[in-house]
Amino acid sequence: MSGKVKRIITLIACILLQMCVGILYLWSVFRAPVVDFFEWNEQSANLVSSVMVFGFVAGNLFGGIFRDKFGSRLTAIIGAILFAGGIFATSFLTPDSVWVIYITYSVISGLGCGFAYAAVLVCLQKWFPTRRGFASGIAVAAFGVSTVIFTPVIEALLRNLSVTETFRTLSLIFVAVGVLASIFIFSAPESEQKSSEVFSTPLQAIKKGGFWCIALSCFFINAAWNIALPLFKDLGLSRGLSATAVGITVAVVGVGNALGRFSMATLSDKLGRANTVIMLAVLTAVCSVALIWAGGYFYTVVIVLTAFAYGGPSAIFPPMTTDLCGAKYAGTNYGIAMLGLGFSAICFTAISNALYEISGDYTYSFILAAVSALVPIVLMFVYKRLEQKTLPTTAQL
C-alpha cells in the first residue's frame, strides 16, 4: 500500500473516530433529560461538563505520553474502548447513584476521548508536516461536527428510549465504529517528517516562555465557552427561543464550532498562529459582552460566533505547540499545555455558579468571560516577541 493511500485511509479513519468521541461535548443535549430522569439538581448537572473537560484534558496528557511511546493506532483503540465503556457504564446509573456520572461519563469517557484526540492530532500533523494547521483543523472540525450529526439522533433516541437505554445504544455504536476506524490509522513514514526540526522534550518545553503563553492562553480564552457550554440550550429558552429554535441553535452551534476549527487553523498556516488567536480572542470578548443581553435569534447568532471563536484556538494551539517544540514529543507536550483548558473548565464553571447564586443571573459570569478573553491578546504579543527569532517567519509571526 502506497504512502498516499495510507494517508487518505488514515485521514478518513481519524475523521470517523473524532466524530464518535465528539459526542462527549453534547452534554447540553443530555443535561435536561438526565436532570428529569434522575431527579437531579441543575447546578450539580452543570458540573458534569466541567469535570468532563478536565477528564478530556487529562486524557490528552496521558494519551499523548502513551502515543509518543506506542503510536497512534493503539492509543486510538484504547481511547475508543474507554470512551464507549464510560458511556456504557453510565447507562446503569440510578437516581441514588447518579453522582457516579462524574466518574463514568466525565472521567472515563473523558479520558477515552482525550486518548483518541491526542492520537489523531499528532498522527495527522505528522502526515501533513508543512500544513499542520490544515491537518489539525480537519481533525478537530470532525470533532466539532459531531454535534451537528448526533444532536437529532440523540433527541430521536431520547423520544423513544429512556435516558439509560439511549446511553447504552450509543455506547455500542461507538465502540464498534471507533475501534474499527482506529485499526485503519497508519503512522506517517519518516520521509514525511521535517528532517531539520529541533525537538524539545517535555522538560525542555516547560522551560520555554512561549510554551507558557500557549498554556495560559488556553486557560483564559476558553472561559466564555466553559461558562456557556452547559447553559446555551436552557439560556436560549429563557431568551425567547422556542424549543424548535433551540434545537436548531444547538445544531448550528456545532456547525460554527466545526467551521472555526477548520477555517481558523488553516488560516493560521498563512496569517500566523499568534495573529489568528489574537483575532479570535477579540471576537470572544465581544461575544461575551453580547451574551449578557442577547435575545431571540440574535442570541443564536452570538452563541454560534462564540462556538466559532472557541473552535479556532482549539485547532490552533496543537500545531502551535508542535511548531515551538517539534513533532517527536508533540502528544506529551500538547497534553501538558492543554491542562490549561482543564483548569479553565473547573475554575470558570465554579465561579459562574457562585456568581449565579449571588446575583440570580449570568451577567457577572459573562463579564468575567469578556475580561478573561483579553488576557490571551497580551500573551500572544509576548509569545511573538519571545519566539520571533526561533520560529519560521513564514508561518508563525
Q: What is the pLDDT of residue 190?
A: 67
Q: What is the pLDDT of residue 221?
A: 95
124 Cβ neighbours under 8 A, 6+ residues apart: 10, 11, 14, 135, 136, 138, 139
Nearest to 194 by CA among 270, 128, 118, 133: 128
Q: State the Cα–Cα distance between residues 345 and 343, nearest whole angstrom.
A: 5
Q: State the Cα–Cα distance between residues 156 and 126, nearest whole angstrom.
A: 39
Per the structure, the count of domains in the chain is 1
Q: Which CATH number do you get for residue 230?
A: 1.20.1250.20
Q: What is the pLDDT of residue 73?
A: 95
Q: What is the pLDDT of residue 135?
A: 81
Nearest to 13 by CA among 134, 144, 124, 169: 124
Q: What is the pLDDT of residue 395?
A: 40
* 214 in Cβ contact with 321 (< 8 Å): yes
Q: State the Cα–Cα distance between residues 34 and 164, nearest whole angstrom.
A: 9
Q: State the Cα–Cα distance between residues 332 and 64, nearest whole angstrom.
A: 4
Nearest to 347 by CA among 207, 202, 220: 220
- The runs of H, that is alpha helices, within the chain are 3-21, 27-38, 42-70, 72-90, 101, 109-127, 132-160, 163-183, 202-205, 209-221, 223-228, 232-238, 243-271, 273-290, 296-325, 330-337, 339-359, 363-387, 393-396
Amino acid identity at 112 = G
**Rg, Å, the chain Cα set:** 20
Q: DSSP assignment of 59-85, as one string?
A: HHHHHHHHHHHH-HHHHHHHHHHHHHH
Q: What is the pLDDT of residue 149?
A: 83
Q: What is the pLDDT of residue 47?
A: 82
238 Cβ neighbours under 8 A, 6+ residues apart: none
Q: What is the pLDDT of residue 396?
A: 40
Q: What is the pLDDT of residue 226?
A: 85
Q: State the Cα–Cα distance between residues 120 and 104, nearest whole angstrom.
A: 23
Report DSSP state, residue 361.
Answer: S
Give the residue ranges of the chain where pLDDT is below 70: 190-197, 388-397
What length does the chain have?
397
Q: State the Cα–Cα distance between residues 327 and 195, nearest whole angstrom.
A: 11
373 grid coordinates? 478573553
Residue 57 belongs to domain spanning: 3-396
The packing angle between helices 363-387 and 209-221, to 10°, is 160
Q: State the Cα–Cα distance between residues 243 and 236, nearest whole angstrom.
A: 9
Nearest to 390 by CA among 197, 212, 167: 197
Q: State the Cα–Cα distance between residues 206 and 215, nearest whole angstrom.
A: 10
Phi, psi of 196 (to 5 degrees): -90, 0
Q: DSSP assignment of 110-150, as one string?
A: HHHHHHHHHHHHHHHHHHSTT-HHHHHHHHHHHHHHHHHHH
Q: What is the pLDDT of residue 207?
A: 92
Q: State the Cα–Cα distance between residues 338 and 316, nearest whole angstrom.
A: 12
121 grid coordinates? 492530532
* Cα 15 to Cα 247, 251, 375, distances in angstroms: 24, 19, 32
223 Cβ neighbours under 8 A, 6+ residues apart: 344, 348, 368, 369, 372, 373
Q: Write down the pTM of the prediction.
A: 0.79
